[in-house]
């Protein structure tokens, strides 16, 4: 016989499960430098997260030391089927943390036919416990298939003759939170990924709450941050709640040079309630925030938009620039103190010249349809620290997601812009 619980009883039962999970939770340790075996203790850590995935359960915490991690058997992808906390950026003895500085935990892989093309880290839970991904650098540069030694152009096709996999059409983090549960994605760097979806892909559920805070999402195709929900309410209740705050999202590329999708800093599913505050959404091939599916509840406050090609904000087929949010946006529940400003992005001269000088398809027609501020070619060059020139976009070299160095990426996100917008070094 199956017993049916009321909504209140079901929530109480879920809370009891969380308490039970916490009481049984274990703490594990991983170090590529001195790890061996599966004990995963501080004194005898495991060598890779992938080596201990099978033993993880809801409520567990995994601490990961500095170093470069390529996944179990160099697959370049880890899937955790439990609600866990993964914390990177530790010194090798786990005495201190500096995730973007001296003790970087780098999740990457190798490009080989035997490797995975899936998300670098997937956490997909069915039962409730606190979920967290904090302090990890996700760099897909080594996983990508580049055409040529200069690593200027990615290929989405495999080359079996050279044992080269296709560039993964997936991002850095895929995060799926169960019913009535919460999770946080914080203090991470996601870079050089080439998804069709999100570099950070966050999936909520009924009455779930996901916080995405102080992340640097830089030089990715697709959507910088893509928030979606598995819960489709019929009575407008139980929406997935998202808090997106103080993230810096830079250089979001279209899927490919002629693609009509991707290229946004933030994209929303329909069945979500979201508040975005203190973020930077800049240099999107299409836009800053894409609400084409018309999310049920959306608040934008104190965000900085700049350098986006077609729009700062879009709802359905209406493109809106930041100065027109209050006048022309119908689906915003609230919009306060958002602005556009030219900023200086210390990304490094080599990447800046590549990005500003890339060959584009019909640049004139793109600019003619623009509904965003600070998106001209010379405005872009100025923000990247390059001298202005009469013919700012060249046609002598085609680049599409050129590889960005980790040091250059972190330099661009180390401090908040204008003292208050975007991420900062944790």
| 21, pLDDT greater than 70 | no
Average pLDDT over residues 298-317: 94
Task: Classify residue 91 by its DSSP letter.
Answer: -
Residue 42's alpha-carbon distances to 70, 351, 352, in angstroms, are 21, 39, 42
Distance of CA 78 to the CA centre of its chain: 16
pLDDT for the residue numbered 395: 35
| 367, pLDDT greater than 70 | no
- What whole-number percentage of the chain has pLDDT above 70? 87
- What whole-number percentage of the chain has pLDDT above 90? 72
Answer yes or no: are the C-beta atoms of 227 and 268 closer than 8 Å: yes
| 110, pLDDT greater than 70 | yes
Six token digits for residue 131: 């979920």
* Range from 75-79, 163-167, 387-391 carrying the lowest mean pLDDT: 387-391
At the topology level, CATH places domain 60-413 in Pectate Lyase C-like (2.160.20)
pLDDT digits 0-9 by tens, 401-413: 999 999 999 999 9
* Range from 24-28, 161-165, 329-333, 395-399 carrying the lowest mean pLDDT: 395-399
Who contacts 48 (Cβ-Cβ below 8 Å, separation ≥6)? 30, 32, 35, 69, 70, 71, 72
Residue 393 banded pLDDT, cuts 50, 70, 90: very low
| 392, pLDDT greater than 50 | no
Please tell me the pTM assigned to this model: 0.91
Distance of CA 54 to the CA centre of its chain: 25
What mean pLDDT is reported for the chain?
89
Average pLDDT over residues 179-200: 97
Average pLDDT over residues 77-95: 98
pLDDT for the residue numbered 375: 66
| 363, pLDDT greater than 70 | no
Residue 225's alpha-carbon distances to 46, 51, 234, 250, in angstroms, are 31, 28, 26, 11
* Range from 23-27, 154-158, 315-319, 393-397 carrying the lowest mean pLDDT: 393-397
pLDDT digits 0-9 by tens, 117-141: 999 999 999 999 999 999 999 999 9
Distance of CA 124 to the CA centre of its chain: 16
**Burial class of 54 by CB neighbour count within 10 A (0 to 12, 13 to 18, 19+):** exposed
pLDDT for the residue numbered 391: 45
Distance of CA 171 to the CA centre of its chain: 7
Average pLDDT over residues 199-227: 97
**Burial class of 257 by CB neighbour count within 10 A (0 to 12, 13 to 18, 19+):** middle
């Amino acid at each position: 016989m199956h017993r049916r619980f009321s909504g209140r009883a079901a929530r109480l039962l879920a809370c009891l499960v969380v308490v039970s999970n916490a009481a049984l939770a274990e703490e594990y340790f991983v170090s590529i430098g001195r790890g061996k075996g599966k004990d995963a203790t501080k004194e005898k850590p495991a060598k890779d997260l992938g080596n201990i995935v099978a033993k993880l359960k809801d409520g567990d915490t995994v601490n990961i030391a500095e170093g470069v991690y390529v996944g179990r058997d160099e697959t370049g992808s880890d899937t955790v089927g439990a609600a866990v906390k993964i914390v990177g950026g530790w010194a090798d003895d786990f005495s201190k943390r500096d995730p973007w500085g001296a003790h970087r935990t780098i999740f990457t892989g190798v490009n080989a036919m035997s490797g995975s093309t899936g998300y670098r880290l997937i956490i997909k839970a069915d039962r409730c416990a606190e979920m967290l991904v904090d302090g990890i650098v996700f760099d897909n540069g080594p996983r990508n298939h580049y055409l040529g030694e200069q690593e200027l152009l990615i290929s989405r096709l495999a080359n079996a003759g050279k044992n080269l996999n296709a560039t993964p059409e997936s991002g850095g983090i895929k995060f799926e939170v169960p019913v009535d549960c919460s999770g946080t994605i914080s203090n991470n760097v996601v870079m050089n990924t080439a998804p069709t979806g999100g570099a950070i892909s966050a999936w909520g559920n009924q009455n779930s709450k996901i916080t995405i805070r102080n992340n640097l999402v830089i030089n990715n195709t697709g959507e910088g941050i893509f928030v979606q929900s598995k819960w489709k309410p019929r009575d407008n209740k139980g929406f997935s709640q998202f808090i997106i705050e103080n993230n810096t999202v830079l250089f979001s590329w279209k899927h490919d040079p002629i693609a009509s999708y991707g290229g946004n800093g933030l994209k929303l599913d329909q069945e979500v309630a979201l508040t975005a505050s203190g973020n930077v959404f800049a240099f999107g091939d299409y836009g800053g925030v894409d609400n084409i599916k018309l999310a049920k509840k959306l608040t934008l406050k104190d965000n900085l938009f700049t350098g986006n090609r077609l729009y700062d904000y879009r709802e359905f087929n209406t493109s809106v620039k930041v100065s027109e949010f209050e006048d022309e946006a119908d689906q915003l529940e609230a919009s306060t103190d958002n602005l556009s400003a030219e900023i200086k992005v210390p990304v490094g001269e080599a990447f800046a010249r590549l990005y500003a000088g890339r060959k584009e398809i019909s640049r004139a027609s793109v600019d003619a349809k623009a509904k965003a501020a600070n998106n001209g070619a010379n405005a872009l060059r100025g923000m990247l620290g390059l001298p202005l020139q009469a013919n700012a976009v060249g046609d002598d070299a085609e680049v599409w997601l050129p590889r960005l160095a980790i040091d250059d990426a972190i330099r661009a996100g180390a401090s908040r812009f204008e003292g208050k917008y975007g991420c900062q070094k944790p």
